[in-house]
Amino acid sequence: MMQHSSPFFERLWFLDCFGHIISYAPSQGRLIRTPFQGTLTNGFVPSPFPIPLEAELTWWTLYGEQLPIEPLIMKKIRRGLVKLQKKGAQEFLSINPRSDDLGFVNAVNAWEQFLPVTEQILQGLSLISDPDMSTICEATSAQHVGHFSFLPPSENKPGCGRIGDHIINIYNNLSSLSALSSIQEGEMRTISLTNDEDNAISHFTLSCRSVKP
């Protein structure tokens, strides 16, 4: 008899197109964008997984308290990205790249597209971003390369960052980042990441120093 896997719930956070995470600022009583620093933040949503085409969101703290955030509807767009729409209105959550502010606009472009990420993806992203957590070398030459950092808005490359001379788009590498989350301290692992510009595969050797930022 064929067995069907049932959806389960995952905690999801949202990254904007320039690598900031949407989090809750209790002192301001609102959602803001915060540079990704590897730590989990207040402002996650529990969601069925795989992610449905559309879902109404409730926002929570890491301590299990629901946050007083107005209802937003998450709707899938493409490449795993979603738009976050104000309930009952044709208005969409949007970023301001020059500040931590979020607002609403009536059309969806790059600034209104968000990447839902699981804790496993965030852990993998931390491992390739934080020099205190890992060292990274080219797999073939064993030459040390820099850690991943998101490109600035002036580069106009949503979802992209740099490792050494390689431009990597995380939208194309979610499964690799998620798989990396299972690495243990002291373990060495080869990771393969798809380049943004030519879809070539770059191979790196990552040595894990710590699994916590």
How far are the Cα atoms of 108, 128, 134, 135, 192 from residue 203, in angstroms, in the given order?
Answer: 34, 13, 15, 14, 5
Average pLDDT over residues 168-196: 96
pLDDT higher than 80, residue 5: no
What percentage of residues in the chain have a pLDDT greater than 70?
97
pLDDT higher than 60, residue 206: yes
Residues 6+ apart with CB under 8 A from 60: 42, 43, 44, 45, 46, 66, 67
The residues spanned by each domain of the chain are 8-117, 119-208
* Whole-number average pLDDT of the chain: 93
Q: CA triplet 159, 100, 59: central angle to 5 degrees?
A: 80
Strands of the sheet containing 72-76, edge to edge, are: 54-57, 72-76, 82-86, 92-95, 102-105
pLDDT higher than 60, residue 102: yes
The architecture that CATH gives domain 8-117 is: Trefoil (2.80)
Tokens of 211: 């699994």
Q: What is the pLDDT of residues 18-52, one digit of tens each?
A: 999 999 999 999 999 999 988 899 999 999 888 99
pTM for this structure?
0.92
pLDDT-based confidence at residue 1 (cuts at 50, 70, 90): very low
pLDDT of res. 199: 86
Contact 160, 171 (CB under 8 A): no
pLDDT-based confidence at residue 197 (cuts at 50, 70, 90): confident
pLDDT-based confidence at residue 106 (cuts at 50, 70, 90): very high
pLDDT higher than 80, residue 4: no
Three state DSSP letters for 130-148 = CCCCEEEEECCCCCECCCC
